[in-house]
């Protein structure tokens, strides 16, 4: 790209998006030739799911909030496209940056492409190889219409090559590693979450459940939470979707008596809880990787992962959703071996911006 003033729209929708955008916005502001504009699509509108991240990660207030909120996939994607197109026509950006794999990612990439605006996808090339996951569809479509593909790992680059994507593919490392390295020491200084919850380091388990493939399945939720209820000292920051279905399946009262359910928490508290946990049990793609960063053994309640690197040396284990199997794996002495660094040097945002300057 040329060295003239470049107007860039950065799109954030869900909790992980905010964290990936934060170091990019900070880096863009160091270069006078960039004019970055932040857009919040509104997918996560609860303060603890979005607002707290802007404060903690020192992200400036978005210029636009589309207010899309929750909805069916088609409804959410369609509304995002309608509202985002209006902004693109008004702002006339040179580039749109999308991150991750939520509905807003593919929606905004489609709008920009049709308006002949260049698109950069941060976290390109991830694959679970399960097209039943909406996120997998979003990833594939976004990658195939993007002009710049910023990959977090060598594996992601290989995936793109196998799909015939070679041009403007860059292995820049994982931008979440930038965020983690910057904030883990701050979390140690500032987080009071262990004191608030009366927790001792390595004496509790951290759990999160939010994927639709689990929450929308009554049998899976029963298997997962029956297992959780058999374990002492589980802390579960409860995603709104999980809470909704626990109520619907009439499991919430039982679960509340057995495990420590808390409201969604900010990033600093979350990584400090994660670092000090004995083990994490999750269905989140991002938390698998953050567990790897904190050297916390992880159990993933899914059949596949976008982050196969975390499976090496048993830092992460894919576990079938059956009560007895979940229990066995939680209680097992998961003692991983030495770690390798697959996720870059913590300077991903600098590499992305440097690439866009050229």
3-state secondary structure 48-109: HHHHHHHHHCCCCCCCEECCCCCCCHHHHHHHHHHHHHHHHHHHCCCEEEEECCCHHHHHHH
Which residues lie across from 37 on neighbouring strands?
A: 9
In the predicted structure, residue 336 carries a pLDDT above the cut 90: no
| Max CA distance (Å), the chain | 61
pLDDT band of 16, cuts 50, 70, 90: confident
In the predicted structure, residue 208 carries a pLDDT above the cut 80: yes
State the pLDDT at residue 26. Answer: 92
Percentage of the chain lying above the pLDDT 90 cut: 83
CB environment 201-210: b (16+ within 10 A), e (fewer): eeebbbbbbb
State the pLDDT at residue 245. Answer: 95
In the predicted structure, residue 11 carries a pLDDT above the cut 50: yes
State the pLDDT at residue 50. Answer: 52
pLDDT per residue as tens digits for the range 112-162: 999 999 999 999 999 999 998 899 999 999 999 999 999 999 999 999 999
State the pLDDT at residue 72. Answer: 84
**What's the mean pLDDT when you consider all of the chain?**
92
In the predicted structure, residue 1 carries a pLDDT above the cut 60: no
Mean pLDDT within 215-237: 96
State the pLDDT at residue 47. Answer: 45
The rounded distance, in Å, linking the Cα atoms of 150 and 266 is: 26
The rounded distance, in Å, linking the Cα atoms of 261 and 282 is: 14
Output DSSP code: residue 47. Answer: I
Residues 204/211, Cβ–Cβ less than 8 Å: no
The rounded distance, in Å, linking the Cα atoms of 243 and 228 is: 15
Provide the annotated active-site residues: 210
Within 8 A by CB and 6+ apart from 142, the residues are 98, 101, 105, 106, 109, 119, 121, 124
Both tokens of 55, joined, read 């404060």
State the pLDDT at residue 51. Answer: 55
In the predicted structure, residue 270 carries a pLDDT above the cut 90: yes
pLDDT per residue as tens digits for the range 47-103: 454 556 667 777 778 999 998 877 788 999 999 999 999 999 999 999 999 999 999
pLDDT per residue as tens digits for the range 277-333: 999 999 999 999 999 999 999 999 999 999 999 999 999 999 999 999 999 999 998
Residues 298/278, Cβ–Cβ less than 8 Å: no
Of residues 358 and 97, more confidence is placed in: 97
Percentage of the chain lying above the pLDDT 70 cut: 95
In the predicted structure, residue 43 carries a pLDDT above the cut 80: no
């Amino acid at each position: 790209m040329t060295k003239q003033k470049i107007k860039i729209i950065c799109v954030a929708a869900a909790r992980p998006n905010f964290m990936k955008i934060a170091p990019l916005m900070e880096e863009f502001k160091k270069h006078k030739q960039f004019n970055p504009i932040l857009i919040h699509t509104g997918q996560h509108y609860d303060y603890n799911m979005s607002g707290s991240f802007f404060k903690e990660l020192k992200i400036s207030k978005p210029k636009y909030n589309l207010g899309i909120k929750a909805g069916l996939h088609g409804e959410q994607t369609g509304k995002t496209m309608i509202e985002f197109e209006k902004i693109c026509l008004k702002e006339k950006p040179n580039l749109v940056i999308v991150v991750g794999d939520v509905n807003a990612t593919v929606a905004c990439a489609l709008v920009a492409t049709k308006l002949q605006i260049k698109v950069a996808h941060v976290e390109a090339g991830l694959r679970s190889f399960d097209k039943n996951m909406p996120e997998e569809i979003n990833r594939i479509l976004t990658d195939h219409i993007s002009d710049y593909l910023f990959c977090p790992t060598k594996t992601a680059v290989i995936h793109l090559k196998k799909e015939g994507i070679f041009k403007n593919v860059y292995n820049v490392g994982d931008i979440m590693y930038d965020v983690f390295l910057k904030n883990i020491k701050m979390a140690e200084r500032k987080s009071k979450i262990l004191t608030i919850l009366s927790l001792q380091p390595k004496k509790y388990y951290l759990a999160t459940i939010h994927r639709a493939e689990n929450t929308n399945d009554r049998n899976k939720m029963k298997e997962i939470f029956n297992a959780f209820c058999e374990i002492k000292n589980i802390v579960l920051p409860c995603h709104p979707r999980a809470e909704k279905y626990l109520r619907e399946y009439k499991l919430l009262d039982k679960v509340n008596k057995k495990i420590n359910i808390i409201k969604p928490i900010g990033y600093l508290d979350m990584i400090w809880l994660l670092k000090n946990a004995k083990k994490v049990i999750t269905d989140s793609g991002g938390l698998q990787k953050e567990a790897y960063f904190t050297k916390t053994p992880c159990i993933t309640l899914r059949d596949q992962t976008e982050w196969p690197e975390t499976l090496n040396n048993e830092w992460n284990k894919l576990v079938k959703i059956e009560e007895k199997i979940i229990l066995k794996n939680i209680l097992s002495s998961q003692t991983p071996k030495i770690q390798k660094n697959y996720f870059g040097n913590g300077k991903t945002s600098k590499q992305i911006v440097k690439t866009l300057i050229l």
